[in-house]
């Protein structure tokens, strides 16, 4: 069965950096695009970023462009999110999510499977 396990969350000061990881199993990781989605405490879902199955295309929400970088290592079945210049408003649970369409050029396959999330708290 599909499993997505996020790690790397924690408390970081404003302006700091953090790298999230997502270990994937139960499917052919190298054939599917992957998303990061976040949810601030008590708020709705926000799409953050998408990376194509082969890493060749990446898309970002405007509010993270230039600060966050999505990447993947298909040899390790692992997705990453490098977060720099963190702000208080980046405080959220960050979910790793699998795109629903095999070998899709972009994220129009939507999301079919979700991880359980990792909490990032930006606070001094």
Partner 1 sequence: QTVVTQEPSLTVSPGGTVTLTCASSTGAVTSGYYPNWFQQKPGQAPRALIYSTSNKHSWTPARFSGSLLGGKAALTLSGVQPEDEAEYYCLLYYGGALIFGGGTKLTVL
**Which residues here bind partner 1, judged by CB under 8 A?**
35, 37, 44-47, 50, 59-62, 95, 100, 106-117
- Dihedral angle at the C-alpha atoms of 91, 97, 103, 104, nearest 10 degrees? -60
Closest distance of CB 46 from partner 1, Å: 6
Closest distance of CB 108 from partner 1, Å: 4
Judged by beta carbon, residue 12 or residue 33, the one nearer partner 1 is: 33
Closest distance of CB 87 from partner 1, Å: 18
Residue 15 CA to residue 58 CA, distance in Å, equals 24
Strands 32-39 and 10-12: unpaired
């Amino acid at each position: 069965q599909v499993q997505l396990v996020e790690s790397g969350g924690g408390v970081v000061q404003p302006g700091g950096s953090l790298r999230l990881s997502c270990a994937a199993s139960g499917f052919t990781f190298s054939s599917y695009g992957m998303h990061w989605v976040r949810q601030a405490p008590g708020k709705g879902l926000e799409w953050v970023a998408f990376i194509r199955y082969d890493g060749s295309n990446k898309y970002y929400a405007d509010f993270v462009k230039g600060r966050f970088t999505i990447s993947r290592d298909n040899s390790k079945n692992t997705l990453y999110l490098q977060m720099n210049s963190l702000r208080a408003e980046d405080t959220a649970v960050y979910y790793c999510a699998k795109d629903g369409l095999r070998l899709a050029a972009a994220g129009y396959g939507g999301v079919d499977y979700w991880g359980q999330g990792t909490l990032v708290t930006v606070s001094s």
